[in-house]
Structure 1
Amino acid sequence: MSLTDINGQAVSRICLGTMTWGEQNTEQEAHAQIDYALEHGINFMDAAEMYPVPPRAETQGRTEQYIGSWFANSGRREDWILATKATGPREEFDFLRGGPRFTREHLIEAVDNSLQRLQTEYIDLYQLHWPERVTNCFGVRGYTHHNDSDSSWTPLEEVMRTLESLIQQGKIRSYGLSNETPWGVMTFLQTAEREGLPRPQSIQNPYSLLNRTFEVGLAEISHREDIGLLAYSPLAMGLLTGKYRDGALPEGSRLALFKRFARYASKPTWDAAERYVSLAEEHDLNPAQMALAFVNTRPFLLSNIIGATSLAQLEDNIRSLDVVLSEEVRAGIKAIHRDIPDPAP
């Protein structure tokens, strides 16, 4: 494994995100995005059993269904490296398997259901969407320790043996982690080495100009352990595009439709976003492309997960691969990060 491939297959630097499909995007629009991305060199697509977002019992699994219908209609499953995720425990997901866990029974059921919706015989990369244990993720600051005796999370070795079994059965080809901490990643890696179990191939965590916390601890693990970052929310829910400037809430935008993204609601976050957008404009750059180009060029990156609700947005996002950030732009980014570091973890 290297920071450019999954299962020995080279993955595109841009990954097609799908969490709007089934909520903000119709099945036809989802298929159009898949077609466009494939035509423009993208071969990696990321989903989750809980998608679309925001998660609801009425729509759960619809995103995977849209991908599955594209596979069935096109016959081009082999053109894609496909990733999806198993939902971790949270009260809001009690409608899913009676409260999702990472036990053997839960993971087997989750994989089988995803395979059925996706209309495929295998998943290239199967990810644990967030830790089953109680720890920091989704913007939580500070740390309160929860003793193992007070928790009910499945031992990691048991989780890994289930994933090994799913690999041996051919249902998944590899697995990855998501919203993980340095302790979690290293414990998976050490357990894999000690027990001769498959090791995780990727870490899907948030990373953007507004959230570079991955650089503290996890980036070194990526390099030293060859486990690359799949960066999600690289545009910070659209704040780095400039469309929310001066408090604007465009009709149909995620922040206008959904109030669940509190991690992007602070004044420092909006102040930093304004400075990054202004920096891009000072150098005649598209703000979204500048933000994506920064992520694209990180040496610990495996792939940058972009999400679009229109083909025009998708085109702009993919074109970020051609953007070169000048020394002046990089210096400007460094200055803003120094003044307002990681306002939206």
Structure 2
Amino acid sequence: MKRNPLGRTGIEVSELCLGTMTFGTQTSESEAHAQMDVALGAGINFVDTAEMYPVNPVSKETIGRTEDILGTWNAANPARRADYVLATKHSGEGLGYVRDGAPISSATIAGAIEGSLRRLQTDYIDLYQFHWPNRGSYMFRQNWHYDPSGNAHSEVIADMEDCLGALRREVDRGTIRAFGLSNESAWGTAQWLRLSEKGLGPRVASIQNEYSLLCRLYDTDLAELSVLEDVGLMAFSPLGTGLLTGKYQNGAVPEGSRRSITPGLGGRHSERVYGAVAAYLEIAARHGLDPVHMALAWCKTRPFIMSAIFGATTMAQLEHVLAGADLQLSEEVVSEINATHRAQPMPY
């Protein structure tokens, strides 16, 4: 499987990344361990998690369980820890189940990392990410009413400087190798880069934002920043929370699916989205393509993509994804996808 640079770190990651946010709720520990074995055996060397996982739903009782499950796999396979790049995330302000909703700061970073290391049963985290910015974000459908005017410039910069100093100490201790962002903006990412260039802490290596045929907010300013600053996109939800598989068309809600647990799909269920999905399904059918394979292969055509993070609730879903891992789309297919996006640009 093709590998791409993780920023300017010298680390390389596979263009597909195994997401783990269902490990511990929809996906059992034994199945999660089997997925690790199969994914690594297929050439995937990149695994993404977070201290707040699993989801569907997020609950006080399950916080940290996904890292625990990855930890038991690491403990059972100590020689394989060096075979893959492990990414996790520090939860941001407002999540009451973790540190009573405290923001990310020098007061929380060291403890959060120690907690993740303990659960993951490892000595180091390859990529440590901030799950969302303290100052807020336009991600998760908040773009429709996003208002950044409540943030004071000096306070935001001081907060970033404080966090970078704490991250630098963790790099020096050897607990983390690289630093990444998630749910960030172009301005925010540019500031993190500028401050790191002043020597205040590690350089941003990656940004994990939502990106798919249905959600292309990244295509403008962030795209340019990614390419010119070597900050690759880790695309999350590249299958649109399962919408792009077609399984929710015509009102269907398969038993055990994400929509059976979260009916609104985090704000992605809308009157417009199913028409857009139908258009992409039609393209796939016309060209004899599996829609899952087409959606993931399309992500890999984008110049700023470092890796596309997919989740597999079951082993069958993982094997389905892997069966199309080498697909390359024709120019004709890409052209039709672009025309459909122009006709139906923001379905949710």
Answer yes or no: same fold by TM over 0.5. yes
Q: Which residue of 2 aligns with 1:85?
A: 89
Give the superposition deviation at 1:321. 2.5
What is the rounded CA distance, in whole Å, between the counterparts of 1:78 and 1:124 in structure 2?
10
Is the CA contact (8 Å cut-off) linking 1:134 and 1:146 kept in structure 2? no
Give the superposition deviation at 1:149. 5.0
Question: 1:107 is aligned with what amino acid?
Answer: I
Q: Does 1:332 align with 2:336?
A: yes
- Secondary structure, in 3 states, of the residue corresponding to 2:141? coil
Alignment identity in percent?
46
- Secondary structure, in 3 states, of the residue corresponding to 2:47? strand
Please report the RMSD computed on the Cα atoms of aligned residues, expressed in angstroms: 1.8
Q: Which residue of 2 aligns with 1:123?
A: 125
Q: Does 1:199 align with 2:203?
A: yes
Q: Which residue of 1 aligns with 2:22?
A: 20
Q: Which residue of 1 aligns with 2:58?
A: 55
Is the CA contact (8 Å cut-off) linking 2:161 and 2:200 kept in structure 1? no
- Choose from 262, 265, 269 the match for 1:265: 269
Is the CA contact (8 Å cut-off) linking 1:3 and 1:227 kept in structure 2? no
Q: Does 1:163 align with 2:167?
A: yes
Structure 2 vs 1, CA of residues 183 and 49 (structure 1 numbering), >3 Å: closer, same or farther?
A: same
Q: Does 1:294 align with 2:295?
A: no
12-21 or 138-147: bigger deviation: 138-147
Q: What number of residue pairs does the alignment pair up? A: 341
Q: Does 1:214 align with 2:218?
A: yes
Q: Which residue of 1 aligns with 2:192?
A: 188
TM-score by structure 1 length? 0.95
Would you identify which runs of 4 or more consecutive aligned residues in structure 1 move more than 2 Å? 2-7, 145-154, 194-197, 259-263, 318-321
What is the rounded CA distance, in whole Å, between the counterparts of 1:150 and 1:58 in structure 2?
37
Q: Unpaired segments of 5 or more residues in structure 1?
A: none
Q: Deviations over 1:247-280 (max 9, x none)?
A: 1000000011123523311122221111111211
Q: Unpaired segments of 5 or more residues in structure 2?
A: none
Q: Which residue of 2 aligns with 1:5?
A: 6
What is the rounded CA distance, in whole Å, between the counterparts of 2:153 and 2:174 in structure 1?
36
Q: Which residue of 2 aligns with 1:304?
A: 308
- Secondary structure, in 3 states, of the residue corresponding to 2:76? helix
Question: 1:138 is aligned with what amino acid?
Answer: F
Is the CA contact (8 Å cut-off) linking 1:296 and 1:321 kept in structure 2? no
Give the superposition deviation at 1:311. 1.5
Q: Which residue of 1 aligns with 2:75?
A: 72
Is the CA contact (8 Å cut-off) linking 2:137 and 2:183 kept in structure 1? no
- Secondary structure, in 3 states, of the residue corresponding to 2:233? strand
Q: Which residue of 1 aligns with 2:139?
A: 137
Structure 2 vs 1, CA of residues 299 and 150 (structure 1 numbering), >3 Å: closer, same or farther?
A: closer
TM-score by structure 2 length? 0.94
- Choose from 301, 320, 323 the match for 1:319: 323
Question: 2:114 is aligned with what amino acid?
Answer: D
Is the CA contact (8 Å cut-off) linking 1:101 and 1:107 kept in structure 2? no
Question: 2:345 is aligned with what amino acid?
Answer: P
- Secondary structure, in 3 states, of the residue corresponding to 2:294? helix
- Choose from 15, 39, 52 the match for 1:37: 39
Q: Does 1:254 align with 2:255?
A: no
Give the superposition deviation at 1:125. 0.2
What is the rounded CA distance, in whole Å, between the counterparts of 2:247 and 2:264 in structure 1?
18
Q: Deviations over 1:68-109 (max 9, x none)?
A: 00010112211110000000012xx21211213211121111
